[in-house]
Amino acid sequence: MTRGRRQGWFSSPRVRRVLARIVVVIGLVLGLIGLLTARWGLLFAGILIIGLGAAMGPARIRRG
């Protein structure tokens, strides 16, 4: 019998999509707060977090 390769919980596309959406929403909230209060550091951090969330999406799964 051959055993399949065990994959972690993070390799599931559904889990990655949910986590990516959560990270993007956090980035949007930070960016909106930074824009409304003119705190440019928060706006910049929000933009970076949105990019991180986009990079975490399910399209980034690499299979060997």
Locate tokens 């999406």: which residue? 57
Token output for 40: 């440019």
pLDDT at residue number 5: 58
Task: Tell me the HSE value of 19 on the side-chain side, using a 13 A CA sphere.
Answer: 14
Residues in the chain: 64
**Range from 4-13, 16-25, 42-51 carrying the lowest mean pLDDT:** 4-13
Contact present, 50 and 29 (Cβ < 8 Å): no
Q: Identify the H or E element spanning 49.
A: helix 40-55
Most confident of 12-21, 25-34, 54-63: 25-34
pLDDT at residue number 33: 94
Token output for 3: 């055993």
